[in-house]
Amino acid sequence: MKLRLSDAIRISWSSVGGHKVRSLLTIVTIAILFGVVLGVNFVLQGLEDTVVAASVVPTAGKVYIESQYYVTSGAPSTMTEEEILNPDFVKRRVELEADADEYGGKLVGVKTSFNDRPPVEIISVEAVEEYIELDLAGVPEGKVPVLVPWKGFSYDEAMYGMQAEELQRNFEDDFYVVGVMPMTEKGRLELGVGNPLNFLLSSVPSNYAYYPVLIDDGSGVVQKYLKERIDIHRQKQEEKFAEMVVADPEMDEEDYRDTYNYIMSQAIQADRAAIFQFDDPQKAIAYALQPYDYANYLMQQDLFSNTISVARSFAGLKNMLVVIEVILLIVAVVIASLTFGHMIDQDAATIALYRAMGATKLQILLIYLCYLVELCILALGVCLVIALGIAGVTALMNAGELSQKLQKFYRLAEAPRVWFVALNWVTWTVVGAVLVIAPVTLILADRHFSARNIARKLKED
């Protein structure tokens, strides 16, 4: 192809001027279709970034994620008593650490969950000491330091008060409160009634907690408490079994053994997650949004805040947006190729002239590809203006209110900054989609370039 690109652009650019109405129509159609997607995506990503930034304030700008492998998808694994009581034991720890390390995640402790009623949740002191001022020095001998969901917490107030009664222990008998854990408000993050942003904000889950978290300060006092709770639970299971035996005197030996094993296997339902600290929230999100590996069920959750739940929900919204985008792309291509087809027919004489002037078919296609690319670039410009307009109006109308609501929701000392424009991968798919209109339209309009059609034009007199 000897035709210089600069010449192809010059000639094709003159076509934009020569087809003002058609060109303008194509540009405006494409710009409106994709401008709205781009604008919504600006707002979406802006909101996500805003919420994520606010969500990490209570944890000193860092993200803490608990990760563990489940043996089968979803179902928590059973651990032996020995494993639970050994705080260093984490299933497939080496793999977990290597994986998190790729995203800059640092192992800062473990979380043990014994799923009794009320549940026992224990985390290493290293996983909280950076962002909660702990009164560890004041812990009386033999008591377990705990973080509580709110000041003045006791079992009676909590959802599991009744079960606690069964334990016949008071909160104060076992625990000493060393701090309040960070968490969101109970309700939803919501703006005024009818505000369309609420649809996006419904992706921000509350992580309000109802029971305390025990702190493992390494003194062994937590393990001692855990052992007691396991023993109590065991004993209850034994009693339950005895009742069943009494209730069913017909039970043969095999039934008897199976039932016993089943009941006792319920005794210890526990798991242990590794807690990773990420300095960069975006890397934490990337770590948490890794594609699931169903064979090796890896599960990551926020430790206290809701950063990665927010990111997960917004990722879902972005995927939805891309589906809409694909539909719009089809619509845009159909409209563009219809308009363009007419234009080529109108241009037949010009094309015939180019042929007579020694242009090859490829050169002519290049000129029209340039023309279409020029239209698409202009459309992108208008698209950007529309999108920024949407984001700007949204910001004007909501910025103040959102900042206040965020401050309350995340219990922040200061109102956080909010923004409504941010780039993400969806932005680039919009740019890509608009540019892809050009070659696809050209291919669809190929038949309009038929040599015979054009030869006929040359002879019209």
Partner 1 sequence: MIKLSEVNKSYGKKPVLMDVNLEIPKGEFVMLRGRSGSGKSTLLNIIGGIEPATSGEVSIEGKNVNNLKAKERVDFYRHKVGFIFQGFYLQPQLSVMENIGLMGTFAGMKRSEREVRARELAKQLGIEEVLDSKPAEISGGQAERACAARALFMHPEIILADEPTNNLDPENAQNVIEMLKQIWQDTGATVIVASHDPMVEKYATKVVKVSEGRVTDEAKAK
Ligand X SMILES: Nc1ncnc2c1ncn2[C@@H]1O[C@H](COP(=O)(O)OP(=O)(O)O)[C@@H](O)[C@H]1O
CB of residue 354 vs partner 1: minimum separation in angstroms? 7
Please answer whether residues 437 and 329 qualify as being in contact, where contact means their C-beta atoms are separated by less than 8 angstroms: yes
Extract the tokens encoding 206.
């509350």
Does 459 engage in binding with Mg ion (CB under 5 A)?
Answer: yes
| Sequence-distant (≥ 6) Cβ neighbours of residue 139 within 8 angstroms | 145, 176, 178, 217
Among partner 1, Mg ion, ligand X, none, what does residue 351 contact (CB within 5–8 Å per kind)?
Answer: none
CB of residue 379 vs partner 1: minimum separation in angstroms? 20
- Does residue 212 have a cis peptide bond before it, meaning omega lies within 30 degrees of 0? no
**Among 162, 320, 349, 396, which residue interacts with partner 1 (rule: CB under 8 A)?**
349
User: Which of positions 152-171 make contact with Mg ion (CB under 5 A)?
Assistant: none
Give the strand pairing for 144-148 and 175-180.
Answer: parallel
Nearer to ligand X, 158 or 454 (CB): 454
| Sequence-distant (≥ 6) Cβ neighbours of residue 230 within 8 angstroms | 81, 84, 114, 267, 268
User: Which of positions 360-399 make contact with partner 1 (CB under 8 A)?
Assistant: 360, 363
CB of residue 196 vs ligand X: minimum separation in angstroms? 56
CB of residue 352 vs ligand X: minimum separation in angstroms? 10
User: Which of positions 438-457 make contact with partner 1 (CB under 8 A)?
Assistant: 451-452, 455
**Among 62, 272, 355, 448, which residue interacts with partner 1 (rule: CB under 8 A)?**
355
Nearer to ligand X, 151 or 452 (CB): 452
* Half-sphere exposure at residue 332, Cβ-oriented, CA atoms within 13 angstroms: 31
Please answer whether residues 175 and 144 qualify as being in contact, where contact means their C-beta atoms are separated by less than 8 angstroms: yes
Site track for partner 1 across 255-274, x = CB under 8 A: --------------------
Single out the segment in contact with partner 1 by CB under 8 A; choices: 193-201, 265-273, 359-367, 368-376. Answer: 359-367
Extract the tokens encoding 145.
């330091």
Nearer to ligand X, 283 or 457 (CB): 457
Q: What is the DSSP string of 131-192?
A: TS----TTPPTTPEEEEESSTT--GGGSTTHHHHHHHT--HHHHEEEEEE-----SS----S
Please answer whether residues 305 and 124 qualify as being in contact, where contact means their C-beta atoms are separated by less than 8 angstroms: no
User: Which of positions 32-61 make contact with partner 1 (CB under 8 A)?
Assistant: none
Among Mg ion, ligand X, partner 1, none, what does residue 15 contact (CB within 5–8 Å per kind)?
Answer: partner 1
Single out the segment in contact with partner 1 by CB under 8 A; choices: 14-22, 132-140, 204-212, 284-292. Answer: 14-22
**Among 357, 413, 414, 447, which residue interacts with partner 1 (rule: CB under 8 A)?**
357
Give the strand pairing for 144-148 and 213-216.
Answer: antiparallel
CB of residue 444 vs partner 1: minimum separation in angstroms? 24
Alpha-carbon span 254 to 244, nearest angstrom: 15
Residue with tokens 């402790």: 109
Task: Compute CA 83 distance to the chain's CA centroid, rounded to the nearest angstrom.
Answer: 32
- 3-class DSSP assignment, residue 446: helix
Nearer to ligand X, 349 or 455 (CB): 455
Nearer to ligand X, 2 or 459 (CB): 459
CB of residue 447 vs ligand X: minimum separation in angstroms? 15
Nearest CA among 323, 292, 285 for reference residue 51:
285
Binding footprint of partner 1, residue count (CB under 8 A):
29
Nearer to ligand X, 117 or 456 (CB): 456
CB of residue 345 vs Mg ion: minimum separation in angstroms? 20
Contact positions vs ligand X (CB under 6 A) = 452, 455-456, 459
CB of residue 388 vs ligand X: minimum separation in angstroms? 50
CB of residue 459 vs ligand X: minimum separation in angstroms? 4
Distance set, CA 277 to CA 97, 131, 436 (Å): 11, 12, 41
Interface residue list for partner 1 (CB under 8 A): 2-4, 6-7, 10-11, 14-15, 17-18, 349-350, 352-360, 363, 451-452, 455, 458-459, 461
